[in-house]
Amino acid sequence: MATETVEFAPAKVNLTLHVTGQRADGYHLLDSLVVFAEVGDRVTVAPAPALTLSITGPQSSALPVSDDNLVLRAARLMGVGAAITLDKVLPVASGIGGGSADAAATLRALSRMTGQALPDAAAVLSLGADVPVCLRGQALRMQGVGERLDPVPALPPAWLVLVNPGVAVSTPAVFRALTRKDNAPMPQAMPRLNSAADLAAFLLMMHNDMEPAAIALQPLIGAVKSALSAQPGCLIARMSGSGATCFGLFADGLAASSAARSLQSHQPGWWVAAAQIRAG
């Protein structure tokens, strides 16, 4: 058995997010093109008699250890003792799947460490709607309440600048503020996109149905989106998930890095990261 196992927990970004309905039990139906970025948290696990969690990293102060932490909940599904360390880089509750990515990384790490199979799909979904897609960690089309995951044609190389202004947005409040919950889904067949410009053109025809409601609740999101749009080389700017993180899409890493440096210098209180979209 390995003494220590490390798993990367990449940021999840909803390039599109269509709210297409609501079930009788209250859960919302979604249709989303999800990608992952080369920036994220890191989960380290080691064999131990009991289950423990310590949280380090630049965002650790915003996430005190608690019994209902998603990392611990995921670990309990595996039923093993482990000393877990979470290096927290991504902002907490920010619309880029940090907690879900951490839970997924925990499952992968414990599976590798012990040789045990991953929990079944229903158990994984019980941790949260984003955990199944984060467990896969690749570009996918996510539908239903997060349980339906379909492959998409290979995406072209592209870079993201992620910006979070440090404000909290309640996902339930955003859902309550939606003007309609029966929006059209994405096209049945995803097109093959040959360049970052093609990807941006496709995204411009799609949307994030939660963005207007989130901006109405927290206008600073609109300011973040505008600041991203103003950066040279930004092909499209949009909110991810239920916010407050927004992304700008760029065709090359140099332009993305330059935009990130500019935004960070003008808004030192914002969390800013430039990262390539993960391939495969």
Catalytic residues: 12, 130
The C-alpha atoms of residue 227 and residue 222 are separated, in whole angstroms, by 9
Q: Beta 5-14 vs 140-144: how paired, if at all?
A: unpaired
Give the 3-state secondary structure of 53-109: EEEECCCHHHCCCCCCCHHHHHHHHHCCCEEEEEECCCCCCCCCCHHHHHHHHHHHH
Which pair of structure tokens corresponds to residue 21? 């309905």
- Count of CB atoms situated within 10 Å of the CB of 186: 19
β strands within the chain, DSSP E: 5-14, 18-22, 28-47, 51-56, 82-87, 140-144, 148-151, 159-164, 234-239, 246-250, 271-276
The C-alpha atoms of residue 22 and residue 213 are separated, in whole angstroms, by 17
Task: Give SS3 for 51.
Answer: strand
Any idea which residue has 């929990």 for tokens?
A: 119
What size, in residues, is the chain? 280
Q: 3-state DSSP: the chain helix, strand, coil percent, rounded to 5?
A: 30, 30, 40
Task: Number of helices (H) and strands (E) in the chain: give both, helices first.
Answer: 9, 11
Task: Give SS3 for 175.
Answer: helix
Give the bridge partners for 86, in sequence order: 43, 55
